[in-house]
Structure 1
Amino acid sequence: MSATRRAAVLGSPIAHSLSPVLHRAAYRELGLSDWTYDRHEVDEAALPAFMERLDATWAGLSLTMPLKRAVIPLLDEISPTAASVEAVNTVVLTADGRRLGDNTDIPGMLAALRERGVRQVERASVLGAGATASSALAALSRICTGEVTAYVRSRARADEMRGWGERLGVTVRTAAWEDAGAAFEAPLTIATTPAGTADALAAAVPERPGTLFDVLYEPWPTTLATAWAARGGAVVGGLDLLVHQAVLQVEQMTGRSPAPLAAMRTAGEAALAAR
């Protein structure tokens, strides 16, 4: 007999995803024994056919790369938050068959920062210029009262970040990656680069650092996060982001609130420790 309600995370590659661990932990805590959450390897080419096969048992989808933008034409509506960065990581399937897209990465970032006491900063730095960097700018548009400096590797990336800043209402100044050590002078630094990219910057952590938000969760702690914590700075990690955005997904898909943050984080930490 099929489950009453189904949800899943889609992406390519997807085998590494912690989303099933987090969502299943939430279902257990909420007593949703008839809910399932799986992972499916789906690339951009296969996404339309996958969406077509969804029936009334499906409640929602989590989306990772490379599907966050590709899914938009397949949806009936997307939230202003998702539209602001042209990226959807959450799809809710309604009882009347509508497909609603949202982005929980941005409010997830804000929730993770609030948990560490960061509610407003006068300036900030962003390391990198990819998709996560645009989400970081969207989050900063709500809490940063001054300039954001983005440290990037190319003129094209610099142009992109300034463009996102204009769109999101953030004053963005760009600087060369070679000067990224200066990023840590700001009270908040958000590192959005791939694993290993920012390791060399650990030597530039100042005596009294502010807050570092490193979006990686594996490997963890990163070299930069370790150096930051050793100096007494506050560190927000990728698992914090993953859990907070998943909390919002669970609430939207199940209609139950609040989602069990502590149980989800514990399950995620245990899964990472076992790898």
Structure 2
Amino acid sequence: MPDAALEVWGDPIEHSLSPALHSAAYRQLGWDWTYGRRRVTEAGFAGELAAAAPTLRGLSLTMPLKTAAFAAAATRDDRAELTGAVNTLLLRDSAPRGFNTDVGGIVRSLAEEGIAGFEEVRIVGAGATATSALVALAELGARYVEVAARRPLAIAPLQDLGDRLGMTVRPVPLTADAFAPVPLTIATLPGGARLDPLAADALAGAGGLLLDVVYGHWPTALSAAWDRAGGRAVSGAGMLLHQAVLQIRIFRTGDPAEPLPDEAAVVAVMRRALMGG
């Protein structure tokens, strides 16, 4: 495949594992593609994109650039439209095409845990990642989603999105000392977020499997609470891996549904790169 340059942008960006994941995949595929990283602020995004787009095949976007990338995309996939967030830009065409692969990353990560869907689940946190989690849960058939957050007003956009998706979204305070039992909890809090230990233990005692989207700060306050309760907690490493696989599909053909050549082998080398081996 012809040479191509790709990058991941964000602020901060030094911690990103995306270059290791993508570079491992390109080597396995035999592509002479490069994948770098660049610190880009939200204020500087438009100028950086205008200058760099002619030299790049595509971009991965992390915080805080997903909303700016959404605005820059001339077309967007359904997952991006629903979430208002773009984490992948395909630049090889005349106009940028935007995609959200975080949703698919969550779905595929849960599939690895044997989860095809639950009717009632819980999300902890109400930020941008919670929106992707809600769309992923809708795709898995969830109909009732409890959202625990510090600020109840922050849950209102998720309730509106839930209405569009045919789901009931119910807000609860993150400081509660008792929660209804659910088979699955998706935590979308930042890695260093502080959490009342009593609330964390209450969530763990009634939370089923925990998928904590954090992968760089482990254990988190919630995963530690799950450990104390004897529950199972998995990090966001699987989500990171699988959203990257979908990005590479997009960078190759523009279609996130078209598998890569010998994709199982590609995923295997990416997983080893993620684990540092």
- Do they superpose with TM above 0.5? yes
Please name the residue that 1:149 is paired with: 146
Counterpart AA for 1:132 = T
Deviation at 1:217, TM superposition (A): 0.6
Task: Determine whether 1:219 maps to 2:224.
Answer: no
> 5+ residue gaps in structure 1?
none
Cα distance in structure 1, aligned partners of 2:130 and 2:39: 25
Q: Is 2:143–2:166's contact at 8 Å kept on the other side of the alignment?
A: no
Cα distance in structure 2, aligned partners of 1:5 and 1:151: 43
Please name the residue that 2:76 is paired with: 78
Deviation at 1:98, TM superposition (A): 2.8
Q: Which moved more, 1:103-112 or 1:250-259?
A: 250-259
Q: Is 1:4–1:57's contact at 8 Å kept on the other side of the alignment?
A: no
Q: Report Cα offsets for 1:185-226 as digits up to 9, x if no partner.
A: 1001001112243472443333x8621110111222324324
Counterpart AA for 2:240 = L
Q: Report Cα offsets for 1:112-160 as digits up to 9, x if no partner.
A: 0001000010200010100011111111111244310001112311323
Task: Determine whether 1:136 maps to 2:133.
Answer: yes
Secondary structure of the structure 2 residue equivalent to 1:189: strand
Q: Is 1:137–1:168's contact at 8 Å kept on the other side of the alignment?
A: no
Aligned residues: 265
TM-score, L = length of structure 1: 0.88
Please name the residue that 1:247 is paired with: 245
**Taking every aligned residue pair, what percent have the same amino acid on both sides?**
42
Q: Report Cα offsets for 1:28-55 as digits up to 9, x if no partner.
A: 11111x2100001111222122221235
- Cα RMSD after superposing both structures: 2.2
Please name the residue that 1:270 is paired with: 276
Change (3 A) 1:8 1:199: farther
Runs of 4+ with deviation above 6 angstroms = none
Secondary structure of the structure 1 residue equivalent to 2:118: coil
Cα distance in structure 2, aligned partners of 1:262 and 1:39: 23
Please name the residue that 2:27 is paired with: 28
Counterpart AA for 1:235 = A
TM-score, L = length of structure 2: 0.88
> 5+ residue gaps in structure 2?
254-259
Change (3 A) 1:55 1:140: closer
